[in-house]
Structure 1
């Protein structure tokens, strides 16, 4: 895409399955239950697939929000506190090249009355680590590192630029990146620096970047949105969610091909993601539920849960764009939009919240290790973790299911939460209470569509 996205605009755009296992009830059970039961969903907590760092579930801070920000709005802060591993934000000098000038939020129309230090301290107050985007300018970038890392508390992760000018080639960006990277590392060699924060996962562009900067970059950042130049039907948006894992896997393959000696040390992150980068009317010919832009509808809940589950599978980090930016928000930035109040939860907040938890609920944070899971149900995806044991089930279809979930021996307590399409998008998920465990299985009603979280102990 050739348009500007992400932090450069106000609002102009916005498992892995294996064959399902058969669960056989133990012979020691009472005769009434001692029979073979086919599991629709199987969780194997004994097979760890990969670690899931807290950065897997992260967010962008925008500097938009009609003067209601994490820096000054207690409700805004409360809605985000404790949820995200990193919070990514662009900061710039008001006078480029002058380190004595004020540091403020970057991006077109961002509020420049809030000091950069206030943004960083407020991100930390959320329990998140700040990730700062710096200009493609070695002097300013080095000075920003010098400013924020002069004390004991440092900003550890940095991004060079945001969605480079489409008129600039990948090779030209790579040359700029190398100069900025070297200048920043000269100030603090312990930091991680990445790029190119490309507006989309253009593999040719990323290949050229890695060819020129793979010896330096500590991670690869690209952006990916659900819809593009126009709205898409919900069925198409939901069917495409595995692409987030596929793109991350393709970038990993490029890294291994071009810089094999450093491959294990180069991370991958989708620095911006949302269901659409613009505000598009409901397209004709779709069997969508509701006519608002997709970001405001329940469909975006299932979309977000699926995308972040696939990113966890692929070992990539995801950043929901953004905390406030009209339709592209975690929280409503104005009251009385679609009946919601200021700071009420947007669908992307809800979907991501089934992995991070949500303010005002007892939803758990996804665990630190992804474990093997599978399902035989069409349109259903399952993501599971240990440390703690959390299972997220996404039904992207309109067909309700009565699922038998095999959770294995040793699980005695299962507590659940669920969000379906029967309530407004900003309503809190329903509590399912404690579900009975019989012979290592749990029977669960999965509305179509919906997302469900189970916490096992």
Structure 2
């Protein structure tokens, strides 16, 4: 976070209708079809998943009341000393030259609150005005002298905001402000800090895909911030750090690509063994200062984002901030929104004292969102796929070790109570009414009741609803889940999937079944009695997510394995080959060059086709051919003078591609109908 004040937010893209409109009756609305698929497993819920930030300018950072509130919300990670203050903070003297340090915010006070909360600490070492020696001394004080056992240590905060790319909000005394200099120092910090305590985990700052200055290469650099940092410091780090302020309430759909692109960068630039590197979202807020920062729309967006990030394997999501202070005051969905990025009220007033927040530590709506997520998906649970056929209703699901299943439903409509009809795949709920947890617009608590059925509920407008279901049959004696699958020998149409065998239950394991996740539906790809299987008939240039399930000789099914995600290539040889090069990228668009080589017989006219992988991508302009776009499909036809392509000849075309989300590049190209080899 650049400052302890409000962060600029972009325009709200989720359209909300008029305030106080009467809710539609459930029988006026077609039931929303909800699909929950227990065979399509995602990440396991980490013990550090629900987090928040503390800041040394908050005098209530270490109070018992604050800690107890956070504990009740299920917070399991607390970050210190607070955003950009981390790069001016000196722990030994508890000073931050150029900033305000409130009373009762020293490191020991913070740790007392962490322990009372029942959380772990994420500590950010001072990169901007500090040294590796200072950071190592902090590790010694924390873990050797005090015995705090702090595991997670970041090196700096948003250090790409040091002016190297133009904008400057982050303190940085280094004469060289490049990513290469940051990477050199990450290595030095990691070596010095791990010499004191080799068990700690070191995190390095990355840019978030499709968020400034991601993908930009500054003058004199060998690549983007992420490329340079990962290439030079990847061997020394244990996790990477992302921050995300989407500025709108409908951005959870970006998460899967955001995290997948980050993992691809880690794999590409760090190399073998990079799968050990985790991903932490150490600052998150909806960033929508005028459209629900601390009222119900922001809470719904927060619950959706937290669940989606954790389901995609992020090991902590840390809200900005516990306390933040009053900002621009508006009315949102019938309630006062104080423009406060905090989970809890600071009890502050506007400059003219015309509007004051509720009493100190009064929870805002996003507090209840975190609390609901912590009740829905507990550490050790496994997220599974869920989806709906109504854009206003979002579904998430998680399976519990005891066989229970939790389903969280989010109704973002401000005027319609939606009935839902829930279908379960790979799971049979017990008869009877489930436990129902609900938070509605303006509510000051989560209510718990028993009502409806496992397959039918009605969701109030602007609400969070979690169902907790029991299985219809006992879950004893079943096989254990197969181990983490891995892919090898991946081609354009095939891949060999291998996994470690499942532990038998009361009966021997008879076979393993492979399922592809296709949205919230599973497609069985095959079965085998062994622990590897070659999948055929795959599509070129396509991302696949696969789970393996064990079945015993009595028909009993295990939990699904952890997910495996891989992407097929293009043909090893073809009558054509394509090379796509990004020549420049400015974070919302890029210039691309496509070299098309004819490897077959000479042609007198050519047509190149490809598709945008995501709905937020589009063609800005093109040259070297006649460009058209229909839906997501792009076609380039030769111009009058460049239609002839002899064998071995290459034509080059260029374009401007626009994007407003993670930029997944086109991977499959056809020339005159033939799939080309993408180089």
Normalising by structure 2, report the TM-score. 0.53
Instruction: Choose which of 220, 239, 261 in structure 1 pairs with 2:250.
Output: 239
Q: Which runs of 5+ in 2 are unaligned?
A: 9-30, 165-176, 216-223, 326-339, 350-354, 471-679
Contact 1:64 1:325 in 2 (8 A): no
**1:206 and 2:207 equivalent?**
no
Matches within 5 A, 1:217-256: 217-227=237-247, 237-256=248-267
Matches within 5 A, 1:87-106: 87-90=78-81, 101-103=92-94
How far apart are the structure 2 equivalents of 1:315 and 1:112?
37
Paired residue for 1:179? 188
Offset of 1:401 from its aligned partner? 1.6
Paired residue for 1:271? 282
How far apart are the structure 2 equivalents of 1:254 and 1:42?
32
Paired residue for 2:42? 49
Contact 1:93 1:102 in 2 (8 A): no
Secondary structure at 1:215 match in 2: helix
How far apart are the structure 1 equivalents of 2:445 and 2:138?
40
Mark the CA change 1:96 to 1:311 in structure 2 (over 3 Å): closer, same or farther.
Answer: closer
Matches within 5 A, 1:258-297: 258-276=269-287, 279=289, 282=290, 294-297=292-295
Deviations 1:352-373 (A, max 9, x none): 221124xxxxx77476211232
**1:401 and 2:418 equivalent?**
yes
Secondary structure at 1:403 match in 2: strand
Offset of 1:311 from its aligned partner? 0.1
Contact 1:274 1:321 in 2 (8 A): yes
Instruction: Choose which of 27, 33, 47 in structure 2 pairs with 1:40.
Output: 33
Contact 2:87 2:126 in 1 (8 A): no
How far apart are the structure 1 equivalents of 2:363 and 2:294?
10
Instruction: Choose which of 387, 395, 413 in structure 2 pairs with 1:374.
Output: 387
Offset of 1:40 from its aligned partner? 1.3
| Higher gyration radius (CA) | 2
How far apart are the structure 2 equivalents of 1:260 and 1:175?
18
Contact 2:32 2:418 in 1 (8 A): no
Secondary structure at 2:260 match in 1: helix
How far apart are the structure 2 equivalents of 1:160 and 1:68?
25
Contact 1:93 1:104 in 2 (8 A): no
Contact 2:37 2:384 in 1 (8 A): yes
Secondary structure at 1:371 match in 2: strand
Secondary structure at 2:455 match in 1: strand
Deviations 1:270-316 (A, max 9, x none): 11011218x5xx4xxxxxxxxxx531322101110111121022111
Contact 1:39 1:406 in 2 (8 A): no
Paired residue for 1:191? 200
How far apart are the structure 2 equivalents of 1:271 and 1:429?
26
Deviations 1:137-176 (A, max 9, x none): 2011110001101054411110001111233222221112
Mark the CA change 1:335 to 1:447 in structure 2 (over 3 Å): closer, same or farther.
Answer: same
How far apart are the structure 2 equivalents of 1:213 and 1:112?
37
Paired residue for 1:355? 373
Instruction: Choose which of 451, 458, 462 in structure 2 pairs with 1:449.
Output: 462
How far apart are the structure 1 equivalents of 2:380 and 2:447?
21
How far apart are the structure 2 equivalents of 1:184 and 1:208?
22
Deviations 1:117-137 (A, max 9, x none): 121122122010011001122
Mark the CA change 1:77 to 1:404 in structure 2 (over 3 Å): closer, same or farther.
Answer: same
Normalising by structure 1, report the TM-score. 0.77
Secondary structure at 1:226 match in 2: coil
Contact 1:274 1:348 in 2 (8 A): no
**1:116 and 2:107 equivalent?**
yes
How far apart are the structure 2 equivalents of 1:94 and 1:224?
19
Greater fraction helix: 1
**1:59 and 2:52 equivalent?**
yes
Offset of 1:221 from its aligned partner? 0.2
Instruction: Choose which of 146, 149, 152 in structure 2 pairs with 1:157.
Output: 152
Offset of 1:185 from its aligned partner? 1.1
**1:419 and 2:416 equivalent?**
no
How far apart are the structure 1 equivalents of 2:317 and 2:126?
22
How far apart are the structure 1 equivalents of 2:89 and 2:70?
32
Mark the CA change 1:107 to 1:11 in structure 2 (over 3 Å): closer, same or farther.
Answer: farther
**1:80 and 2:70 equivalent?**
yes
**1:135 and 2:126 equivalent?**
yes
How far apart are the structure 2 equivalents of 1:435 and 1:46?
26
TM-align CA RMSD? 3.0
Q: Which runs of 5+ in 1 are unaligned?
A: 1-5, 15-37, 228-236, 283-292, 358-362
Offset of 1:55 from its aligned partner? 1.8
Paired residue for 1:319? 318
Mark the CA change 1:294 to 1:378 in structure 2 (over 3 Å): closer, same or farther.
Answer: closer
Mark the CA change 1:323 to 1:403 in structure 2 (over 3 Å): closer, same or farther.
Answer: same
Offset of 1:42 from its aligned partner? 2.3
Give the total of aligned pairs.
390
Contact 2:81 2:124 in 1 (8 A): yes
Secondary structure at 1:444 match in 2: strand
How far apart are the structure 2 equivalents of 1:434 and 1:420?
16
Select between 410-419 and 48-57 the one with higher mean Cα deviation.
410-419
Secondary structure at 2:226 match in 1: helix
Deviations 1:341-393 (A, max 9, x none): 22111222122221124xxxxx7747621123232222322111122532111
How far apart are the structure 1 equivalents of 2:294 and 2:301?
12
How far apart are the structure 1 equivalents of 2:366 and 2:246?
12
